[in-house]
Amino acid sequence: MFSKRLGIDLGTANSLVYLAGEGVVLNEPTVVAVSIDDNRVVAVGSEARDMLGRTPGNIMATRPLRDGVIADYRITEAMLRYFIQKVAGKSFLFKPEVMICVPAGVTQVERRAVLDATLAAGAKVAYLIEEPLAAAIGAKIPIAQASGHMIVDIGGGSTEAAIVSLGGIVVNKSARVAGTKLDERVAQFIKKKYNLIIGERMAEDVKLQIGSATPLDKDITMEVRGRDMASGLPRMVEITSHEITEAMQPILMQMIGAVKNVLEETPPELGADIIDKGIVLSGGTSLLRNFDMLMTKTTGVPCHIAEDALLCVVRGTGVALENIELYKRSIARK
């Protein structure tokens, strides 16, 4: 037992690392800055995120994961190596065991890519767990019982809705729309209505500060800075929460569509359990103002947000790693 055991939630927006016996030890943005001249990784995490949209010509800051899956294999491997070395130490004699979670809807090729990247980054053994299952464990849902529980995990790249019973996933649907698509939608809206081009950091700030899933009783305003499309000069406009709510509706409806699809395919016995217990929401995007209210209104099923919604998936991954015998049916390894 000399080797460390790590649970990694490799998210599109943020990556979190859980160290067995200690808890969550790392929470960094999933961004990598690469030098174009020699393909060298310059910065990872928060440092690289500060470079987004601000880099000189010879450095490129990118997000190596898109829609919850690996978009750039080499950069993902470099990022995993950085996370593993930061937590396990650079000169580890004993390679760590690593468990990574993946969206439930990914293909075999995408699963293999994650396992291979983890092993190449310095893991002794790589395990995979499906995101909804990890989120359910992290949200303290008793998944081993013979009753249905519904978990909806909404992160940066994908919305995962699943019914969990007897330790496994009964029905699941994955929609590759989530927080990042909301940011893009906000940026598109401001560009179209105000002829103002804003960066992804600014779009995210607008969503977090004044974004709401349902119209607010009292409108909130925010000053947004960007570049004027006509003159090319910096300009500032004032935007209301009502406008942002309207702009985000199509994406929110796509997310809720995945939830409705799962409910439609749920066996009647489990459907009755879901009505009793309600839907549990986890993931960063579930914290969007009034999102639980919109979900309850459109599905007719009560919804509540899990405690520490941001950490559910990584905690669940860590718990599954610490109790691997209990969850071995639901885990792939390499």
* Residue list for the binding site: 12-14, 156-158, 204-207
Cα dihedral 267→272→278→283 (10° resolution): -10
Nearest Cα neighbor of 65 from 51, 79, 52 is 79
Nearest Cα neighbor of 41 from 12, 90, 88, 78 is 78
Binding residues for ATP: 12-14, 156-158, 204-207
| Helix (H/G/I), strand (E/B), else coil: 160 | strand
Cα dihedral 203→54→32→26 (10° resolution): -60
In the structure encoding, which two tokens stand for residue 24, read together?
Answer: 């969550």
Cβ neighbours for 169, distance < 8 A, ≥ 6 positions apart: 104, 130, 132, 133, 162, 163, 330
Nearest Cα neighbor of 327 from 108, 151, 129, 165 is 129
In the structure encoding, which two tokens stand for residue 310, read together?
Answer: 């941001």
